[in-house]
Structure 1
Amino acid sequence: MKRIVLFSMMCSFSLGLMAQSDFSDVFAAGVEDTERFANDYFGPLSEAAIFSMGNGWYNSADAKPLGGFEISLIGNITGFKNKGDKKAFFFDEANYTNLQLVGGSDARTDTQLVSSALGDIEGVRVFVEAEVGPGLPAQRQEFELPSGLASEGLNFVPTAYLQASLGLIKGLEVKARFLPNINFDDDVEFGLFGAGLQYDFTKILPGDKILPVAISAVIGYTNLNASYDFTDQGILAGEDQRIETTFNTWTFAAVASTRLPIINFYGGFGYITGNSTTDVLGNYTAGIGPLSETVTDPFSIEREASGVTANVGTKLKLGFFRLNVDYTIAEFSTLTAGINFGFR
């Protein structure tokens, strides 16, 4: 689980969880059951990452003048501590072909609440059973379903990146964000880029320089690509085993802020929408006994998330140096902090 936590903190989505031994056991149930479980298990984590990456596009509604610029280091912490509906889901045997809950019919029902990749439920045991032949005992493999990040005391999904803003024609500001491709431990690689526009409507009004507030519209796009090659881990029989994930997030917002010389306050209403695609690639031997099969590029996991957001924040400006912090209320709420260096 240490690798689970580390990978989550490094690249925000931590779908490398899938390659861990506590998840790889699920492959014994075959590709179809594994794909179904993976969608329910990883889905909430993907949603949290989408909301996390959609934040941090602005720290003021006052667009920079022509030639004005700002370079920022931005960090987001998207919490899920109180999101009980996202930390667990109901496992229903009726939806699975081979995967079953351990326990006699008098001791349980055929459904049970189990942990998602965000959760902390432990000790849920399942089994896969296959008939070998007439008169022979059935082959059975029993294992525990994986828990999630909360079981390690981690109740947030982090993202971080560099962002630059440049003032152009009157009221228009362009933005770019990026995280250069990073290779961790020779098997995890990820990178992020994005672009955005901000338009300050108050700049076209007469006497805009004396107005106490600014009002802007902001649009931003973020893309994250990551891969995890776990062939050498020896977790599952096969070769060229890897996970490739892509996140795409759009942010739309209306923003207002004060126009004071040192300390300002800003807030906005917006909408975040995005999707993720995770491809499980390579060759795998899945199942037990007669259920065993070798498959290539077994499945993909897709997830979409969207929702309305509202945030409020403050920005401290001391010459070239600026600090900002804000809190966004959404399906997954996010605390954002930025260290900024700018001119004008």
Structure 2
Amino acid sequence: MFMNLLKRTLMVVVAGSLSIATMAQEPLRDFFQAGKANAEVLTKSYLRPYGEMLGTSLNAGWYNTAKVHKLGGFDLTFSVMNSVAPSSAKTFDANNIGLSNVSVSGDGIAPTVAGEMDSRPSISPVGGDSEGVQFVLPNGSGNDKLPLPMLQAAVGLPFNTEVMARVVPKMKFGDAGEVSVLGFGVKHSLKDYIPFVKRVPFLQLSLLAGYTSFDSSTDIPGTPQVEVTDGALDISSGAFTSRLLVGANFPVIAIYTGVGYGSANSDFSVNGQYDVNVESYQKTFTDPFTLGYKTSGIDFNAGLRLRLGFLALHADYTVADYSVLTAGVGINIR
């Protein structure tokens, strides 16, 4: 029963990865018409919001209180972290991303996968070393959000410490692809080290560090313009966060805040063989490129938890370059 429930919830993760791959199909078909090097530059700019939102979401949802479990206390929590792309991530300037031997029409402003535009610039080959054909840059999805569900467990250890785990073995979902998640974290109470905080029962202060890895693979089908053999979008992401947590716990309601540093590295690998046959341009690309996305910086969040017996409901908001709204429910025994 548990594994069936886990599979159903993880279908949302696969759906997110699948949506990324689906939106990548048109850029692959169109971007390869500008040659391999330009296709890599264009695809990286186009997919950047999803690449950066994935790492940001993986660093969220680690806690819903600053309090540390007592020895033997535990919780099992299901959360959904929904990151949102800022307006600056919904477009890119094709004139300033390093394209070579092409001309860009108009002002060069084109939508990313998170944006949407009715009128878009076209790319045309120029110069003796150019390759490819003229084409209009593809539209975006208009979806500036990336939800990521997560199942997490935590248990209290000696010395005012608790450990957390996010473990999802690799699961295959038919033609939709496969996904796996592995994460570990630790939280340590600072309450006893600070006399003022120690004397106030409801105040909580702790340090947290956590690391999450995410891997998925989704098939990429071909189109009439680009024949694809063994095409796949393989996503690998690792995210680390360290935070100082401050909170106040009352019998039913708890409030919490966290400030700290987070970093993430995500690789989107376009694998397989792509045979381009458009007008006078014929070319074959094998395992063409891997797109790397990195994010880092300080963020801040604030949240509220409502406890009803063993059941706990929580929601918080993270302020960063990519903001994140997290909400969830869990079984909690302190």
> TM-score of the superposition, structure 1-length normalised?
0.83
Letter in 1 for 2:242: F
Deviation of the 1:180 alpha carbon: 4.7
Corresponding position of 1:136: none
Give the aligned partner of residue 95 of structure 2. Answer: 92
CA 1:65–1:311 in structure 2 vs 1: closer, same or farther (change >3 Å)?
same
Structure 1 residue runs without a partner (length 5+): 1-5, 103-107, 132-138
Comparing 285-294 with 30-39, greater Cα deviation is found at 285-294
CA gap of 1:11–1:262, structure 2 versus 1, over 3 A, is same
Out of 135, 142, 145, the residue aligned to residue 143 of structure 1 is 135
The aligned runs of 1:84-163 (5 Å cut-off) are 84-92=87-95, 95-97=98-100, 99-102=102-105, 108=106, 111-128=107-124, 141-150=133-142, 154-163=143-152
Amino acid at match of 2:148: T
Residue of structure 1 equivalent to 2:16: 11
1:140-219 alignment runs, 5 A limit: 141-150=133-142, 154-184=143-173, 186-203=175-192, 208=198, 211-219=201-209
Question: Are the counterparts in 1 of residues 25 and 220 from structure 2 also a CA contact under 8 Å?
Answer: no
1:151-197 alpha-carbon deviations (Å, 9 max, x no partner): xxx33111111000100013100001134544445142222221100
Identity %: 28
Mapped pair 1:29 → 2:34: yes
Count of residues paired in the alignment: 321
Distance 1:274 1:246 in 2: 11
Verify the 8 A CA contact 1:266 1:313 in the aligned structure 2: yes
Distance change in 2, residues 1:315/1:95 (3 Å): closer
Residue pairs, 1:54-65, within 5 angstroms: 54-65=59-70
Q: Distance in 2 between matches of 1:297 and 1:30?
A: 14
Preserved CA contact (<8 Å) 1:87 1:118: yes
How far 1:54 moved relative to its partner? 0.7
CA contact (8 A) 1:56 1:76 kept: yes
Report the equivalent of 1:316.
306
- Distance in 2 (CA, whole Å) between partners of 1:209 and 1:176 is 31
Give a deviation string over 1:85-137, Cα, whole Å, max 9, x none. 111111118933354435xxxxx4xx411111111123314245599xxxxxx
Supply the distance in 2 between the matched residues of 1:51 and 1:130 (Cα, whole angstroms): 39
Equivalent residue of 1:121, what SS? coil
Structure 1 residues 16 and 225: CA distance shift in structure 2, 3 A: same
Distance 1:193 1:148 in 2: 31
Aligned to 1:3: none
Q: Determine the structure 2 residue equivalent to 1:325.
A: 315
- Secondary structure in structure 1 of the residue aligned to 2:119: coil
- Would you say the 8 A contact 1:22–1:144 is kept in 2? no
Aligned counterpart, 1:134: none
Q: Over residues 286-342 of structure 1, what are the superposed CA-to-partner deviations in whole Å (9 max), with x where a residue is unaligned? A: 475675332221111011001211111111112211111111111111111120102
CA displacement at 1:14 relative to structure 2: 4.4
Q: CA deviation at 1:149?
A: 3.0
Contact 2:275 2:282 in 1 (8 A): yes
In the alignment, is the contact (CA less than 8 A) between 2:28 and 2:39 conserved in 1? no
Decide whether aligned partners of structure 1 residues 327 and 7 sit closer, same or farther in structure 2, where only a CA change above 3 A counts. closer
DSSP-derived class of the 1:292 partner: strand
Distance in structure 1 (CA, Å) of the matches to 2:91 and 2:13? 18
SS in structure 1 of the partner of residue 226 of structure 2: coil
Q: Rg: which structure is higher?
A: 1
- Tell me the alpha carbon deviations over residues 27-67 of structure 1, each in whole angstroms, 9 at most, x when there is no partner: 11111110011111112221122111110111111100111
Q: Which runs of 5+ in 2 are unaligned?
A: 1-10
Contact 2:25–2:221 at 8 Å: present in 1 too? no
TM-score for the superposition, normalised by structure 2:
0.86
1:265 shift after superposition? 0.8
**C-alpha distance 50-73 of structure 1, shift in aligned 2 (>3 A):** same
Aligned residue in 1 for 2:239 = 249
1:155–1:281 CA distance, 2 compared to 1 (3 A): closer
1:236 aligns to what?
A: 226
Deviation at 1:260, TM superposition (A): 1.6
- Measure how far apart 1:278 and its partner are: 1.4
CA RMSD after TM alignment? 3.0
Deviation for aligned residue 1:11: 3.0
Change in CA separation of 1:31 and 1:286 when aligned onto 2, cut-off 3 Å: farther
